[in-house]
Structure 1
């Protein structure tokens, strides 16, 4: 198959990472992949490290009529067997520019779903999103559950708990990521006399707000803000416990990345993580926006190194069986192969 993989985001987040992973996954199964991305984007920089099958695509937004025309020329030239779109902008432009020449597959990355009913198939990253698509009246044969993925890491050599232990979290600094809850939980631990250091990686519009909250909680010497993380392996090696405090998390790629490195994990019971972690089996789940519960979960892990080891090993096994590229790439291939005859027989 030849896959045209379209992602028009310019950020440094899950949307971009998944588009990169789709390119790698289809290539690993022996298929040709051409990825369409904005010039000078972070995604393009990463793609260039392993492929030259990239097309630069400038656009002024999803309502850009010139963009639709330009994309129609690309589709006509590339003659893909299937077109995979990441994000609402890519979907809208592709629906205008494809002329029905190949099936359009929308990847449901989150709950902001527009025009999905107009696509030929939908790849949903969670079972909850599968049910959401059903609720829109989209036929079952068009909906596929395809979780996000990571490349399975070599067996990590995890250190024993540091003294004091190091807690880590990172992501985009926006309200839904719940980093204020993370700060309040760490303040509770400090007030109880539990010594630990913390790292907060990331960037975003709430950066100064979070810095102020850290200062108000008297944690300036306890939490280090390290900016956006470019070397995730080094980050995971530098921490003893990973925390995902999100109020809303459609999936949580960072969670499976941490589990992949055998880091014991704590997450809130947000949308994606409850389909990844099994509470008290391969990690801990806490209520959303509950700093006290989060503090108690951290305290439990810091008091029991054997539990850290247990959750770390079990988490990595969860990733190996459900979320590795070798597993998910087969799902991508079989799902795409299944829908192609449906499309071409109908057209």
Structure 2
């Protein structure tokens, strides 16, 4: 198959959805398919893809409607005989999906790593008329979309994220930087969705009772100054540290004692999967996909979103229990190896793409 991934995320944005696209592209390329990933010029996702050996091209989609861009993409699809196009954002479907309909032979799929579709007429129109299927990573998202009543039974396909479990990782030496301290790590865009304000509040609750915890966060975003202001207000300058954008978080995961996800909503949180793969215990909020990934009380703990007290209580309940931490980490790695490997994801994705392409060619 000739497969094109399109992701028009901002140049400096890079998260779990972008990592999924690159990993999926690389795995399909490894299986012998022709694969190209398209995004904005000089974007982080194109650089990340190039570093992984994935061929790239520049396609810039800036708005929901762009007749000139649609015509250009239609020509590209014809010239390159693209069989399947997998789109990231809703505007990618509207602009490139229309191009595919003009080109005539390309299967169009949307990849929704979180709830990107609401009961708006424009979502219904674009996803039912310009798209041949939706790939998601969570049964809860599939259930939500099924409830809209728009799609045929098998239109939304659940394919769990997969990751490559590294053979060796050199951990960040937190013991030198913070001797005698226990490291609680988190990562993600500094945006409202990621719930870092609640993690700060949880840190403040714990700091009132003890002084041996250091919170480290990898990420950048528009809320950075607001969050740093809140840290100063709560007196956490020495115990809540922002590391900035970190392209490879595995060394941080390897070096920490506990990983925490404080998000208000997610799809299937890749970063939790990565922490589990490195045998790290996890405390996570009860967001989409969390209960499909984490076994509460066995591989980690699940707490309500937007609840700093619950977050602090969960952290306190495990951080001083090395036996429980070890047990969570061991069980988590086994769960990832059984259900969330990149090879398993690639096999399921390849089979689904072949199925959709055969349906297209049969005129279904």
Tell me the C-alpha RMSD between the 2 structures.
2.0
Q: What secondary structure does 1:335 align onto?
A: helix
Matched residues in 2 for 1:61 and 1:235: separation?
37
Shift of the alpha carbon at 1:157? 8.4
Confirm whether residue 169 of structure 1 aligns to residue 186 of structure 2: yes
Which of 242, 245, 254 pairs up with 1:228?
245
In structure 1, the partner of 2:53 is 51
Matches within 5 A, 1:93-132: 93-98=95-100, 99=102, 100-113=104-117, 114=123, 115-118=126-129, 119-132=131-144
- Alpha carbons 1:5, 1:83 under 8 Å: kept: yes
Shift of the alpha carbon at 1:247? 1.2
- Alpha carbons 2:8, 2:62 under 8 Å: kept: no
Confirm whether residue 37 of structure 1 aligns to residue 39 of structure 2: yes
Q: How many residues align?
A: 347
Which of 75, 78, 81 pairs up with 1:79?
81
Change (3 A) 1:160 1:262: farther
In structure 1, the partner of 2:215 is 198
- Alpha carbons 2:174, 2:183 under 8 Å: kept: no
Q: What secondary structure does 2:60 align onto?
A: coil
- Alpha carbons 1:321, 1:327 under 8 Å: kept: no
Matched residues in 2 for 1:153 and 1:134: separation?
36
Matched residues in 2 for 1:122 and 1:233: separation?
30
Matched residues in 2 for 1:111 and 1:155: separation?
34
Shift of the alpha carbon at 1:294? 1.1
Higher mean C-alpha displacement, 160-169 vs 125-134: 160-169
TM-score normalized with structure 2 length: 0.90
Shift of the alpha carbon at 1:215? 1.2
Higher mean C-alpha displacement, 46-55 vs 291-300: 46-55
Shift of the alpha carbon at 1:65? 1.3
Which of 312, 331, 340 pairs up with 1:323?
340
Which of 126, 129, 141 pairs up with 2:154?
141
Q: What secondary structure does 2:362 align onto?
A: helix
Consecutive unaligned residues of structure 1, counting only runs of 5 or more, are: none
Q: What secondary structure does 1:48 align onto?
A: helix
In structure 2, the partner of 1:64 is 66
- Alpha carbons 2:219, 2:245 under 8 Å: kept: yes
Matched residues in 1 for 2:64 and 2:53: separation?
27
Change (3 A) 1:50 1:288: closer
Matched residues in 1 for 2:301 and 2:210: separation?
22
Change (3 A) 1:160 1:311: farther
Consecutive unaligned residues of structure 2, counting only runs of 5 or more, are: 118-122
Q: What secondary structure does 1:140 align onto?
A: coil
In structure 2, the partner of 1:28 is 30
In structure 1, the partner of 2:18 is 16
Matched residues in 1 for 2:47 and 2:252: separation?
21
TM-score normalized with structure 1 length: 0.94
Q: What secondary structure does 1:17 align onto?
A: helix
